[in-house]
Chains A and B, each alone.
Chain A
């Protein structure tokens, strides 16, 4: 309290001397300039991020539309890439079969695994391992999954739809496990208690209360996994191999898929083949977007909000 003489403020209390510069209005011009430059830079990044979105959708719609016609959707490939006409029906059917089978396998196992994590294992060692390695598995390159299915199953049994479906199911499984787990965790403890208090066994509570309550959210996760599987190419190169004709056999015969047909079309020098590739890209993009949109619709119908 002793030492430097203190000035008195208007109200009578003591105050310390203030440099005039700080009493000036606002930050210095240099700081303002930095702030504006930073804002401009951020806006530039937004533009740079949105530019590809616009370019991709514009060109796919433009090129795809001009090459798309009823024949494309309902016809299979001509015997040569050079030939005009025809379509990717072989690819569409192959994709529907393989994605369908993969979903039918991955969903039950994935949902049950998530039920284990939330209702049974909780924080035990097995549950922690499953959680960690599920996360790890979502980062495995899909081409590696294809290599695995090739060495383990294609070598003994040949290329085919089931092999492709197996690769897709392995890719979908960890995605479904983790997203289903998140949805199951949101089911409130109170309604589980209500079920137990009524004398329900654990499996009855899970199947009659927990799963139905979480169903919209689970559906969202499944639809997103389906959208992802529909767009996969690399694992199918190694397991389904691709084909110019329509196949419905599950085993022993190579089968086409929409992404495979697009990939082949992208590599041909022939204009007709490239045109079909564009139409196929539009078709595939629409399928993926429809599933992504359905996923959002499903999540908005959930009665359990985050």
Chain B
């Protein structure tokens, strides 16, 4: 390290090993990064390949057929697709108003000292594992709330096909309610970010024009947040579509399609979890096929949500 005694070129030559280490490290990191892509690709390939026989045997009636009779080798998964969509829709109906209202409250109305604790409490909902949600849903929420409300809806509005009796808490409705509770923290956390991103000047402008607080929210905050809110809701939807255990315990495990949400039903994720352990090879292949369809739907929703959220962040 003394001046001039050793030329730079000579020192560089002596560093030979070091430079190879540098290059190797770079390659190592790139390989690790590529692992993500490889795993994803491999996932898609193997599952689709496994389910191919079922897809070929059933053709399009795999997704359009409503008969799921494993003992006879008939595999139509429409009831599961239907149940997934219905339970997720119920979840959104419950979670979106609550999450948006909650997030608006936390960002616009709540005093500063209240924001932390309330936000933290809601985020705790995200920490609860889904099997615990399922257990609690079956033994607490069901007798306390789901069953009574379902019966009340059935008797009061039973003339509507959507609430036709016999009403049960173990139904699309029951699963949908618990699902809704589970996605509240996801939608709310993102909605809070979206609302916080609205520039303060927009709010001041509304107030300066004499708006009440609600008018300010409606006129200044909400219009600016539309894209981000849609993204947040879609991310919550993506989570609801894939949720397995809580739904498996509460949806009723009946592979049929029913117009009434107060009836038992099934979902794609739930049927995989419930039937896997007893299934024989052909049925397992069919269940893999269910998984592939579920994956496709979830991925599409997630990609669309990501693009929306990325665009909103980029425009900030």
Report if A262-B135 is in contact (Cβ < 8 Å); known contacts: A202-B22, A231-B129. yes
Decide if A170 is an interface residue (CB 8 Å cutoff): yes
Question: Contacts of B104 on A, CB cut-off 8 Å?
Answer: 42
- CB distance A132 to B132 under 8 Å? no
Chain A residue at minimal CB-CB distance from B296: A144
- From B37, B39, B129, B272, give the contact of A288 (CB < 8 A): B129
- From A27, A48, A110, A143, give the contact of B269 (CB < 8 A): A143
**Bound-complex Cα distance A202 to B239 (A):** 39
- CB distance A113 to B47 under 8 Å? no
**Bound-complex Cα distance A112 to B217 (A):** 44
- CB distance A267 to B249 under 8 Å? yes
State the main secondary structure of chain A at its contact with B: helix
Decide if B61 is an interface residue (CB 8 Å cutoff): no
- CB distance B306 to A202 under 8 Å? no
Chain B, interface residues (CB within 8 Å), range: 35 or more
Decide if B157 is an interface residue (CB 8 Å cutoff): no
Decide if B208 is an interface residue (CB 8 Å cutoff): no
Chain A residue at minimal CB-CB distance from B178: A52
Decide if A201 is an interface residue (CB 8 Å cutoff): yes
- CB distance B242 to A39 under 8 Å? no
Chain B residue at minimal CB-CB distance from A153: B46
Interface set of A (CB-CB < 8 Å, partner B): 27, 31-32, 34-35, 38-39, 41-46, 48-50, 52-53, 55-57, 59-60, 63, 108-110, 112-113, 115-117, 119-121, 126-127, 129-130, 132-137, 139-145, 147-148, 150-152, 170, 173-174, 177, 201-203, 206, 227, 230-234, 237-238, 241, 259, 262-263, 265-267, 274, 277-278, 281, 284-285, 288-289, 292
Instruction: Contacts A38-B217, A139-B299 known; list 18 others, CB within 8 Å.
Output: A39-B213, A49-B188, A50-B118, A113-B35, A119-B29, A126-B33, A130-B37, A136-B40, A136-B303, A137-B36, A141-B294, A142-B244, A143-B291, A143-B294, A234-B244, A259-B245, A262-B135, A288-B127
Interface set of B (CB-CB < 8 Å, partner A): 18-19, 21-22, 25-26, 28-30, 32-37, 39-40, 42-43, 46-47, 50, 97-102, 104-105, 109, 118, 121-122, 124-125, 127-136, 138-141, 144, 181, 184, 188, 210, 212-215, 217, 235, 238-239, 241-245, 249, 269, 272-273, 276-277, 287-288, 291, 294-295, 298-299, 301-303, 305-306
Pairs A–B under 8 Å by Cβ, sample size 5: A53-B124, A136-B306, A144-B295, A147-B291, A151-B47
